[in-house]
Chain A
Amino acid sequence: MAAKILPVVKLATKVTIAGGALYVAYDSGLLGSGEQGSEALGKAKAAIPPAIEEWMKYFGLQAQLPTMPKIEFSPVQSWNSGVRWTISSLSEAPTKASDYTSQGLQYIKDLTK
């Protein structure tokens, strides 16, 4: 009797889990427009530190983990500064090249004097 119901129960559990996952994804706006998605991301970011704290307390790890250093790294800034550096070095390149060649020629002349 139990053996007959078991596959049905398994299927029902799987469907529940899958349906629940789909519903959570739909409800938190992950499948909506771009703004809803970034809202959800913001909420998740804000909710992470308290959640980590809770987990630490739950596991009895009272010793404070070294707080994650505030990484002040902005890809946008790095990219922009990289572009600026490239373009400025490209624009200075001919002048610098001629300077170096003249210096080099001068050096060789001095050697052969």
Chain B
Amino acid sequence: MSEKELGKKWDRCLADGAIKFGTGLGLGIVLSVLFFKRHTWPISFGSGAGLGMAYANCQNDLRSHYMLHRSEKEQ
């Protein structure tokens, strides 16, 4: 993986992390206000879940260079 590619992947990872954190936070706030009587835990749960999703995406993305993909397997 070239340095440039790696840098781009990291950029995508961080942007994705920020987006998912924000989305999780928003959804957590919505759910907390609507269903859970304004407790804090849905908000933390949502943001944590968002960060976790971003981590998984990032992990997959960084590993994908070294994995064999199905399209190559056919050959």
Which A residues contact B (CB, under 8 angstroms)? 14, 17-18, 21-22, 25, 30-31, 33-35, 37-38, 40-41
Which residues of B line the A interface, CB within 8 A? 12-13, 15-16, 19-20, 23, 26-27, 30-31, 34-35, 53-54, 57-58, 61
- Are A18's CB and B15's CB within 8 A? no
B50 nearest CB neighbor, chain A only: A31
Contact of B16 with A38 in the complex, beta carbons under 8 Å: yes
Question: Residues of A contacting B30 with CB < 8 Å?
Answer: 17-18, 21
Q: Is the CB of A18 within 8 A of B35?
A: yes
Would A38 and B15 count as touching, CB distance under 8 A? Answer: yes
Instruction: Specify the chain A residue showing the minimal Cβ separation from B57.
Output: A34
Q: Give Cα A30 to B17, complex, Å.
A: 10
- Inside 8 A of A31's CB, which chain B residues have their CB? 20, 23, 53
Q: Could you tell me the distance between the alpha carbons of A32 and B30 in the complex, rounded to whole angstroms?
A: 20
A22, A31, A34, A38 — most chain B CB neighbours (10 Å) = A34
